[in-house]
Structure 1
């Protein structure tokens, strides 16, 4: 498996993102009823934000996931924990299967995203804040080394604030 990660290009990816984000399996993404224009507007907003970035991940040339990285100091999370230098916020969405599910794909995507983030020598810790009800992502986060800190009330959810240091990920990273 060979993953590549590139910036979202709305002219190329808007319809793809729309299909992924509005799929019933993507309920945790929070945009189930969005139309293509709303998805474009959201990702144009992210593109304009110097502290937030959206990326398309491909497996052997086929787009299979969306990930976002952001600076927690410039986000709602800054009010909920002491942001440290080297903290990187992350969101990930694996594309709904287009055919039979591929066993192990989500775990491989999680490792690829974490490797991508830690390629930056300034990145020391990854921060996530998934909805506390999303048990599937909690399991995937634990697989790559995230440790749950505590629940926090964000504007749209109760989140499971979790952290993964570079060392925690290195201890869990397996091909």
Structure 2
């Protein structure tokens, strides 16, 4: 079972250095990466992965979408480039309460590597908004996931996990906006998928609210090994009503 979705408004974090450096080098690298990202000139670009299996496809090659907050795109995670920022987000208390991946970089690295070296049923991505990496996503085959043991899964059900890093991205409806955008991307790029699903922790009321505002419906309460979750579903058939 993958970690629960951290709340899209309360999960915070910011760019962190990569590799092992001294304190001065670390500070310089962090400032350089964050400045480039803010200028829209960072190294985060959507490059297709020619070796990506077709269980989920290649979300990193999906076209950017225009949102009220700016242009948004999913970018496939590069472990060497992105481990620092993802690990730092995972260590934010608001994120750690639901993802349980806090600790040294090796913890996040192991979680990412299992997906990157797996069979393609789960694809980790950065969410880049206006040229700035500000969220972490997992697009996964829910019908091939342990989650499928706990609800009536259908073939090609596609799940999403999300955390948002950066205090400036909280409390402005960004989570709802991006959940809607990503669920639309899934349905547009995966014609065999009839439903996008998620399973946020029931205790995380703001997260459940964000999914509801993004067009998901509350389908059931499910007991998972690590939490009691709200099963949220976005149906392709209901898109026209939103």
| TM norm structure 2 | 0.66
Distance 2:225 2:116 in 1: 22
- The answer (yes or no) to whether the contact 1:131–1:159 under 8 Å persists in 2 is yes
What SS is found at the alignment partner of 1:54?
A: strand
Q: Map 1:1-175; keep pairs closer than 5 Å.
A: 1-26=70-95, 27-31=97-101, 33-49=102-118, 50-97=120-167, 99=168, 101=170, 103-120=172-189, 121-172=191-242
* CA root-mean-square deviation: 1.7
- The answer (yes or no) to whether the contact 1:67–1:113 under 8 Å persists in 2 is no
1:156, distance to aligned residue in structure 2 (A): 0.9
Higher strand residue share: 1
- The answer (yes or no) to whether the contact 2:177–2:214 under 8 Å persists in 1 is no
Gaps of 5+ in 1: none
How many equivalent pairs are there? 170
- The answer (yes or no) to whether the contact 1:46–1:53 under 8 Å persists in 2 is yes
Q: Structure 1 residue runs of 4+, over 6 Å off? A: none
- The answer (yes or no) to whether the contact 1:147–1:163 under 8 Å persists in 2 is yes
In 2 relative to 1, CA 102–148 (structure 1 residues): closer, same or farther, beyond 3 Å? closer
- Greater radius of gyration (CA): 2
Name which structure has the greater RCO, CA cutoff 8 Å, separation 6+. Answer: 2
In 2 relative to 1, CA 94–168 (structure 1 residues): closer, same or farther, beyond 3 Å? farther
- The answer (yes or no) to whether the contact 2:219–2:231 under 8 Å persists in 1 is yes
| Deviation digits for residues 116-146 of structure 1 (CA, Å, limit 9, x no counterpart) | 2122222210111111101011011001221
1:153, distance to aligned residue in structure 2 (A): 1.4
Gaps of 5+ in 2: 1-69
